Amino acid sequence: MSERRYFGTDGIRGRVGKSPMSPDFVLKLGWAAGRVLARDGRRLVLIGKDTRISGYMFESVLESGLSAAGVNTRLIGPLPTPGVAYLTRTFRADAGIVISASHNPYYDNGIKFFSSKGSKLDDALERMIEDELDKDLKVVDSAELGKVTRLADAVGRYIEFCKSTVPAGTELKGLKLIVDCANGAAYQAAPAVFAELGAQVITIGDQPDGLNINAGCGSTNPKRLIDTVLSEQADVGVAVDGDGDRVVMVDADGEFLDGDDLLYIMARSRLRQGILQGGVVGTLMTNLGLEMTLEQLGIPFLRASVGDRFVMELLREKGWQLGGESSGHLIALDKHTTGDGIIAALEILAEMVRSGLTLRELRADFKKFPQVLVNVPMREGFNMAGSEAISRAVETAKTEIAPYGRIVLRTSGTEPLLRIMVEGKDARLVNSLANRLAGIVQDTQS
């Protein structure tokens, strides 16, 4: 089977105005997707988006392409990616499309697809869509053109769904929360969910203007959240990313908790309550400390390739429910078909209420290994695997950091970056090796 040309680990993504994120390509993409869906007589697609200014443009051309293929669309407007997945399932739609570049800056955008079951589109369907892109665009007869309608109550439906994922009677009264919406798709839903469950909510990053998504805010930029938690003397800070499928948190002392910290809290909470099904899936980037801590608790742990779709695949293969990434993609398959930042945060907050423990206390027994992640820009066409200098440097570094340490070099699936992760017991050695490897990669490209 041929390799995918446009679809990456999280749909199609790129710089706005340049292929593949140009209006003409996305028009053809909508038509191609519609053609694939129409083969089985399927005729309804939902389209949601984040708050990027280019979302209006891509929404218009997507609906035009789908209509040309004879497929009806319902426009959702700004809504977190997992919200689109949920509505796709509950409306019995044939597919869902999200216009978003997640945590990337406003000048990028992307297209993600969900199946009728609310899960990421499988590889076979993505390849079928790519095959259609090679054909000439032909419009169906006028009587068969797709119609476009707008779904007015999408945000309210999603808010109620999020609230339904915690035990009945759960109240967050007495908790003071800072909620950072990244000026993105969750700016309406996230504050409402926590407030309607009784929390005192102070919201930041909730004034999207089309250009400020993820800018100095959100899960990838937590400084403002930390500062606000401390200045407001809040109990917890919660930050999602631009499309709402990632979450990180901050405790009352301003300590930052990433996806590994939160995954530990979720796993241990479920273990204590006797509701943990199987084990936990992480990725190649998951901190070694989490693997070792879960092992001490008797919880099986497996690593998938980086990307929430690979975490999902391994969870399904094993029949487990809980997995995630250090970046804050957290999946609880007993609650949703995809990763959801708001729902993951709710599970943590519900455990605080249930146990009577602070966020700091819930995390207290988890000890991480020092870990450094360095991103090195990659020039187009650079082949890391073909560099003997990089291979030798990595093998030497692995010898130096053994036996308790890991080194992972991987290309980003969403940006032109080489990510270098070094982890071990000695923080100074970890930093030294990461910087050395970054320098060698840069020299190799020059």
Q: Which of 54, 102, 269, 327 is catalytic?
A: 102
Write out the two tokens for 153: 């109550």
Q: What is the rounded CA–CA span in Å between residue 5 and residue 18?
A: 15
Q: Provide the strand spans (E) within 60-217.
A: 72-78, 95-99, 108-115, 148-150, 176-180, 200-204
Peptide bond into 403 cis (omega under 30): yes
Catalytic site includes residue 60: no
How far, CA to CA in Å, does 216 sit from each of 79, 104, 105, 322, 389?
21, 12, 10, 30, 36
As beta bridge partners, residue 72 has 44
* Among candidate residues 228, 176, 184, the one with its CA nearest the CA of residue 210: 184
Calculate the CA 73 to chain-centre distance. 24
Check: CB of residue 105 under 8 Å from CB of residue 268.
no
Q: What is the rounded CA–CA span in Å between residue 446 and residue 441?
A: 9
Q: What is the rounded CA–CA span in Å between residue 178 and residue 237?
A: 5
* Among candidate residues 21, 62, 86, 85, the one with its CA nearest the CA of residue 148: 62
Please report where in the chains the tokens 């407030």 appear, as a residue.
Answer: 195
Strand arrangement of the beta sheet that strand 322-324 belongs to: 301-304, 280-283, 322-324, 330-332
Report residue 350: phi and psi, to 5°: -65, -35
Check: CB of residue 38 under 8 Å from CB of residue 69.
yes
Q: Is the dihedral of CA 433, 435, 436, 440 positive or negative?
A: positive
Tell me the catalytic residues.
Answer: 102
